[in-house]
A and B are shown apart, each in its own frame.
Chain A
Amino acid sequence: MILRRIRVADWRCFLNPIELGEFDEGLNIVHAPNGTGKSTLFEAFHRALLDSHKVTGRDIEMLRPWGRTLSPKVTVGFAHGGAEYRISKQFLEDSSALLERMEDGTYRRLAEGTAADDQTRALFTQNPPGRGLARQENWGLAQILWAPQGNLVLTRLSGDLVADIRSMLSLQIGAGAGPLEAKIEARYLEFFAPKGKLKTGKDAPYLSRLQEQLKEAAEVRRKAQELYLAYEETVRRVEDFRARRAQAGHDAEEINKTIKRAEERVSAYRSLSSEKKERTEQLKAAEARYSEIKHRIEIITITAAKLTESRRNVSTLEEEAPLRSRERQEREKEVARKKASLEDARKGRQSVEAAEQIAEAARKFTECTKNLSELRVLVARIREIEGTLASRKNDRAALIAPGPKALRAIRKAAREHDDAKAKIEASLISLEVVTESNGLLDVVAGEHLGPLPLGAGTPALVQGSPEVVAEIKGVARLRAWGPTGSIEEHREARAAAHGRLAELTAPYGTSDLDALEALSDKAKLRDEAVAESETKLDTLLADRALEEIVQDQGLQEATAARILEQNQEWAQSPPDAPALRVQALEVKKSFISAVESAESAWEVAQSALTAATGQEEAAASRLEESRKLCASLESQHAELIKDGKQPHERQREMQQLAMEWEAAKGRLKEIEDRLKDFQDDPEAVLEGLEAQRKAVEDAATAARDQEIREESKLEGLAAKGPYSDMVVAEERLAQLKHDVQTEQLRVDAVRLLRETVASCRAEAIAAVTGPVELAATRTFQRIAGGRLGRIQIGEDFEPKAVQPEISPESVPLDNISGGEREQLYLAARLALAHALRKDERQLVVLDDVLTASDAGRLARVMNVLEEAAQDLQILILTCHPERYRGLQSGRFFDLDDAIGKTG
């Protein structure tokens, strides 16, 4: 379709009619500033071609010029299929549509009303207009060819458009294949969801239900099989328990036989044991008799021997008794003699005591004498020192001297006095007068007023403060002065120091420091002398008082006097205490020796007596015992032989019994040998066998109990007829498996059919979209370069992505810049427009697009548009005409001018 002209009136901003045309068959640029009505013009254009004149609603109402109740009108002249047409429509009030065709140079009415709407629309789409104004997705081919304002994006192409495009592009897809394909798809969708998974839920195909049933049947079968296997297992267990019970029965039978044999053995064994016991008794009895007789014979023999021995002992002892008595008596006499000697020796003790007393007294006397002498000397010495001390103290007391403290105070006062004096001296003004002749100086002002004799050549000093004034009568008045100072302070200080000094030194009678120091030294010496005397006295006293020492002296004297009372000769001739001591020791030693000797002799005698006495008594005792023994042995012997038998008779009897004993031994051995043949304890064996039998019986009982339980269980299982249930379950399962297999084959076949058809379709479409893709890519790369690679167009002819060469994956379009995106869509639209045009030019409308493209790219776009204009009619609506001035071809329409022309 080629646009020739357009006329619009009463349409939004176009209050007055406006007409544009004759459009070029190539490039056309309609330009005007913003808000002039370019897009309105485009709107009127596509409404005229696509919308029903009868359309109502708010959208169509908005077409009226603001504030006016006017019916929008549009007339579009166009060429199609070699004919010229004109469609005129009026909307809203008095709506109308008229389609005219040029015939013989004149427009003739072709269709009107709805027919006109339909025939016009049919040029672009087979779709009915629907309610309201036609939406872009219902524009049909125009959706591709006409890009609304700022919207080059090619998206959401309607299914019918896509089909139409496919239909227009190629016949390979198949005319009339739609219904069959639809049926194939419908058949596919009976089983599968659009995404390819088997349907589920209430829409699930029969196969799903079969599979569910198969699953259930498998579970039923599994349970039936479980029950059947439980039955089989229980059968085996019952068989096992029966076998066990049978085996237990056999075992019990065997054991009973063994027990019977064992019992017989036990009986034999017991019999032999009993006989053995009896024979053992007999043996013991024979042995006892033999032992008895033998013992009796031995006893008799022993008793006789003992009796003889005993009698002999008695005889011996009777002979010894008097001898022992005599010996004892001798010993007693000896003891008496030794005793007397001892008593005599002991009487020497008195001499010893006397000697010791004398020695002790001598020692004491000597000691007292010595002590007394020492004490007297000590007392005398003490008294002497006491006298010296008293004297020294007196001397010291007589000396009044300052102590160190007082001396320090005095020195300080003197120092202060001197300081004050010095300061006064320093404060005084001094005037020294030396006259050549004698004279008299009258001190008028100064320390000492009055006349002062002057000697020739002798300096006379006058001091005073604050001045010194002195006169020499008739000669001079001398005056001296100096810096003023507070001499009064110093004088006061000197007076105070003087006062203190006087006070401090008053007791000592001098204020001369040296004298005071001499006094102090002297006092110190005297103190030292006193201290020395005191020290000596303390040493002598040794922490005792003199009275104690004197008292001690008194005691010593008393002691000595007492001793002298008893030893008066010592007063003249003092005793030799050591010698007396030695003498006393000699006496004592001699006494002790004598006593010890006597005692020793006495003890020996005593021991001998004791021994003799003991022997005599022992002998008497032995004699008594021997007599008793003898009597006893005689009695025993009499008892033993009271049977009257002779020894040889007894011997004979013993031999007889020995033979009987041997015989009993032989019989016992015989029984024991027979018992040894048993090799074990038959009773223990029998006991063991009986225990085994019990165990077997218990096992049999347990097996029987278990068997009964399992039989009961088996009965329950058998009553359920598990095999029959399993058979039914398996048959059903087999049937379901077969059905599933059949249905699965069908489902797989349907899927394969659909996939094969889809694959073929995709290939066919690819064969169509391929060239479009290639053309669009080429155009795009001319504009934007090769960086973004190839445009990928989907089977619905919408650009989907770009495939850069450097990227293994395609890049979605929203990942490229806005400018490149609009250039891409332009390229796609142009490629599609070229592909769809067939043998007729088609109109491509671009309303204010490429707003994001830079000038460089725009230049290339212009080239592309110029080339496209060779095959397509291109209508560009823009508010930037300058961008298109570079076009070598192209017709420009100034909408502003067109509006102005109409007033």
Chain B
Amino acid sequence: MKFLHTADWQIGMKAADLGAAGERAREERLAAARRVVDAGRDRGVDFILVAGDLFEDNAVSRVLIQKIADILGQFRGPVFVIPGNHDPLVPGSVWEHSAWKSCGNVRVLREEAPVELPGGVLFPCPARQKHSGRNPVAWIPPERTPDIRIGIAHGTVEGIRQDEPDYPILRDAVRRSCLDYLALGHWHSYATYPDHEGFVRMAYSGTHETTRFGERDSGNALIVDIPEAGSPPLITPVRTGGLTWNIIEKELREAGDVQRLKEQLETLPDPGSTFVEVSLSGIIAADDREALAHLENILAARFLSGRLDTLRLRPMPEDDTWLAGLPPGVVREAAGRLRQLASAGGESSTIASRALMELYSLAGEDAQ
């Protein structure tokens, strides 16, 4: 038995950090969904398991439901989907849409009842609420059969730290339920859980496309190959994500740091599919002001979305070049005061730093 295990597509999710690029991120998730189906098809899997959270919310646009149904419908084999905690089986859910009826190969598993698979049995654990303290796999009858027993559930394996248990799944769920494999969804990073024999029979596929900055090991689907009942599964992650999320935090210490950072950014591959967030701290020399402005332009122009945070930057306190170019008198005196204020710290120092930048910019125009 060979199948593709995916989960947490979170179709329709919000990307507040990306601003106007959020829509692009959502579109990329649809593209990644197609890549998942393509991966399954290319690797000749027998069926696809989607372990919950196909959608970000039950109230997503109905057009998205149709699109996903169409995408899944393009797989030649069956696709088994369980509702997750983001799209639980509640009145008005995405699962009531007529699109699912038109896809003959997509089965939304709404009941805790075994489903016949070619060569095995599937034990679905659909979520019916957004939050629950109940073990979703507890219903699976623990009886050893000659068939390959696959479980599909959406929850949190014990050991993952969270404030309150949400659909808790025991660490030894596989053994307790006599499963050959438990396909999990809920957490967005790829993770595996070896059993007492050291074989991985329980895994999170992670989300098929990274959802935010700092999310590790996401953007994958898993190809699971189980030769026979009782055999350890062979799990192969395949890359399905197309976006790169880069966070760059840098502390500027000396002149030229900005330029070096700029060069670093220019070397990042595929900027059109990359989200970049650059956060600078430290002190900035007067000579780096222009490079900083260029950096901001590069981020805005080259990357899918780029943000530059300079709120924690402060002008170099002993950098008199700030003042040298200014006409003597009131203006120079004012610049000196602003520099002192910028060095003092606090919210007003941020404004003072910015004011200095503004003054420098005007002086630069004046000089020209």
Contact = CB atoms under 8 A, between A and B. Distances in A.
A731 B16 contact: yes
A799 to B, nearest CB: 24
A760 B366 CA distance: 20
Interface stretch (A230-238, A450-458, A577-585): A230-238
A750 B352 CA distance: 9
B61 A721 contact: yes
B14 A727 contact: yes
B292 interface: no
Contacts of B355: 748-750, 752-753, 756
A179 B366 contact: yes
A748 B347 CA distance: 11
Q: Which of B328, B329, B330, B354 has the most CB of A within 10 A?
A: B330
Contacts of B341: 752
B19 A734 contact: yes
Interface stretch (A168-176, A320-328, A388-396, A533-541): A168-176
Q: Which of A177, A181, A231, A238 has the most CB of B within 10 A?
A: A177
Contacts of A559: none
A339 to B, nearest CB: 123
Given A177-B330, A745-B350, A757-B331, A183 B17 contact: no
A761 interface: yes
B16 A730 contact: yes
B16 A184 contact: no
A870 to B, nearest CB: 33
A588 B20 CA distance: 152
Interface string A747-787: 01110110011011100100000000000000000000000
A714 B91 contact: yes
B337 interface: yes
Contacts of B59: 228, 231-232, 717-718, 721-724
Interface string B214-239: 00000000000000000000000000
A175 B332 CA distance: 11
A724 B358 contact: no
Given A239-B91, A723-B59, A175 B16 contact: no
A331 to B, nearest CB: 118
Contacts of B165: none
A711 interface: yes
A728 B338 CA distance: 40
Interface string B344-365: 0000001110110111001101
Contact of B358 (A187, A231, A731, A759): A187
B333 interface: yes
Contacts of B248: none
A157 B332 CA distance: 27
A735 interface: yes
B298 interface: no
Nearest to B94: A718
A343 interface: no
A718 B329 contact: no
Chain B interface extent, by class: 35 or more
B62 to A, nearest CB: 6
A749 B363 contact: no
A738 interface: yes
Given A184-B359, A187-B362, A721-B62, A756 B17 contact: no
A174 B19 contact: no
B14 A180 contact: no
A719 B62 contact: yes
Interface in A705-744: 710-711, 714-715, 717-719, 721-725, 727-728, 730-732, 734-735, 738
A178 to B, nearest CB: 9
B198 interface: no
B13 interface: yes
Interface in B240-265: none
Given A238-B92, A717-B92, A731 B15 contact: yes
Nearest to B351: A748
Nearest to A710: B91
Given A187-B362, A235-B92, A752 B62 contact: no
B92 A177 contact: no
| Top 9 A-B residue pairs of the complex, sorted by shortest distance between their CB atoms | A174-B329, A721-B61, A735-B19, A749-B354, A238-B91, A723-B59, A724-B61, A749-B355, A714-B92
Given A180-B366, A228-B59, A757-B330, 11 more contacts: A175-B327, A177-B331, A180-B362, A711-B92, A718-B59, A723-B59, A723-B60, A727-B12, A731-B18, A752-B352, A760-B331
Interface of B: 12-20, 22-23, 56-64, 90-93, 96, 307, 311, 326-334, 337-338, 341, 350-352, 354-355, 357-359, 362-363, 365-366
